[in-house]
Structure 1
Amino acid sequence: MKVAKFGGSSMATATQLQKVGNIIQEDPARKIIVVSAPGKRTPDDVKITDLLIQLGEAYINGESYEQCYERVIDRFREITEELSLDITLLEDIEQTIKSVIGQDTSSISKLDALKSIGEDSSAKILSAYLCSIGLAASYINPKDAGIIVSNDPGNAQILDDSFARIYNLREKVGILVIPGFFGYTEQGELMTFSRGGSDITGSIVAAGVKATLYENFTDVDSVYAVNPTIVANPKEIRTLTYKEMRELSYAGFSVFHDEALIPAFKEQIPVCIKNTNKPHLPGTNIVAEKKQDEKCVVGIASDTGFSSLYVSKYLMNREIGFGRKLLNILEDEGVSFEHAPSGIDDMSVIIRDSKLTKEKEANITKRIYDELHPDTIIMHRDLAMIMVVGEGLVSTVGVAQKATTALASANVNIEMINQGSSEVSMMFGIKAEDLNRSVESLYHVFFD
């Protein structure tokens, strides 16, 4: 049994849905299908989920939401009409949106419910289309599938009890189509995962049914060794380990949600990333362990939008609890940190800019001064992080020397380096303006 997940680009139009149907037909082992909401049809298009968020926010703020509503319905009308599906499908989607808007629930719950409509509608449309081409398919709601999650709107986590319930899907006959991105609490409340969470649903279901393979269909041929918008025609990665893919996903590779591999990893289920538009290509396989003779460095990931909170205090290393107190201040302000390299007299905390508002920054700085009495506090902004990723990287001689030489040859100053905290990655902090030439130089050293 295979679990196949199709992303937003695969669900964006009727033509794409027909390709999905062909892929499912080609392999009888593809018994369980997980789908995203319709994505962009063109680069300047808007995703259905974004339209639903705009609709929800407009309604909550007492503003006109009719235009967003019409755009959502028009998108689904276009797909259902081109596939010659029954008009009751569209009527059901319209009724669902109106029902959610009319519910007497909190703004957070209403927004979560609206966001889920994209995936839910995709699943209903695909199951109807598969039936229309002669396949025995049925829509399965996440609650009926056994996807039980924590009560954390917009950031739900799967509960361990879910996997035994999901296993029962193996007993159902025909092709099962499940919407991604959301589940239900034990009390029956709808909760969404973090954005891009359909990948998480696919991995959860694959783990639950103990699939032989989890296929993730997207719009790229494979995972690349580096961002193709920075380096033209980069090398494709044919095989990755779970740990390598997790590091690459976290550090800016948008192919896969960075949380998605965890359920599959725990059950040792192989994952394959493939292109819906070119399903005959081998794609990238993600496995538990790599062969001994395979190359150490597999990819270079990068991302912008970071700041570094630098705190210095003489004899910091002798002050018991300093680091804990500093991180507690961040926790109290609801700010998570990415990395925290430290020395004997100083400590840096890397934070994503999206987590750090001006107000939170002011509160954090004041509390650090008042409670920890440092000599210096400096906030470094406009940083980028680069990760050189590969299993066995820490135990391979010369990798750090190659990386630092590459950055030096690109005339890039290293603001921060973090090696050793991870067995599969080496991280460099640089100015965001130096990102592209840094990545180009690193790629040349490790892959050309």
Structure 2
Amino acid sequence: MRRRALGLLAALLVLLPAPAAAQERLALAGGRVVTNTGAPVEGGTVLLSGGRVEAVLPAGAAAPTGYRVIDAAGKWVTPGIIAGISQLGAVEVHAVDEANETVARTAPVSAALALEAGLDPEETAIAITRIEGVTAAVTAPFPGRTIFAGQGAIISLGDGRPIRPRAFQHVAYGELGSRIAGGSRPAAWAEILNALDEAQRLRNGLVSPMRDQHRDLRVTRDDAEALVPVLTGAQPLLVRVNRASDIRQVLTLRNRYPGVRLVLVEAAEGWMVADELARARVPVITLGMDNLPGRFETIGATMSNVGRMVVAGVTVALGTPDLDASFQPRLLPQYAGNLVAQGRLPGGVGLSWDQAFAAISRAPAEIFGLADMGRLAPGARADVVIWSGDPLELSSAPEAVFIAGVAQPMESRQTKLARRYRPGQPETGLPKAWMR
């Protein structure tokens, strides 16, 4: 009876109308439209309806009747930026454990952790990032007690909620993984194999459902069960790794577990094994701006890393994988622009404009199988940004942001503070500001 009632409730919810704002028909007219599916459409018009892109019209085509026209003449119209990896929605203050949901240092489980349970749609950084043109983010946990960090989510910056919960599993190898696992790469590798082998046993029914754990199990049963989707390819396995030899080692996982969908995170020396990554069709998510050998595993770091991997045929998306708060997803257009500039330096290998913009929009969507995101085409999710100019130039800024076809408030905590404490503001009723 209860199941029947729940089914009836679900059916009624499907029949309910979508929010009125999402149903508004909009025509973003006259801008330089970057579709990510071909050449830009100069003076084009993007039609949005029901939270989706309905069409991209050529220059001179009039918007159909019933659409509210928004003048984008002289502006750039693009898909929204997708942060390839971030901590958005999971960290308010990095240095305060109570405000950081990405790391579970003493939890009895690891791979079974699902980050969406700790997401905060009201986190300050969401609005700050959204008004800079970022409309979605891959939010990742960070390894704590074990090398397995848990399951991350892909969130919409419109409401801060998951578009896809439990979207991937995250594990650390290299220096970080070896340190957590006991002090060496062999120790970290043994942990990876043990966990995946236990998941394989569960998948094949070799472990009795009445038993809490296998006799040599070093991961909990919950963790092993959480890794079964990794073996089937239902969840990508994001592996944090940098050194070229470590990358080669990670690629051998496919020999033992053919169904695993590998995605590398950071990969500072990826350029040294770019041909191997391309042949294996393993994509990379990285910041792309690391050229300092700050650790032994990044001695080969170079600003041409991303360019060389892309030339070899590797799919590369930009994100902010470091927990350092200075790596902010709102700066991704700047980082992409720097990769364009890298190609203009003597001896440098960078990206074309189209490649750089794809790295912060279409590429992350493709890596995670989000076929309706990262592009402006009929049926695509209506995450759209109107920019004052070229989005990869520092002089440009978003003038309007639409997420699922809904216009977003162009305000954040920072803009409110700037307005409140601007010079000449009456002090009556306001707290004292710092005096200069």
- Give yes or no for TM over 0.5: no
Q: Per residue, is there more helix in 1 or in 2?
A: 1
Give the TM-score normalised by the residue count of structure 1: 0.28
- Of structures 1 and 2, the one scoring higher in RCO (CA 8 A, sep 6+) is 2
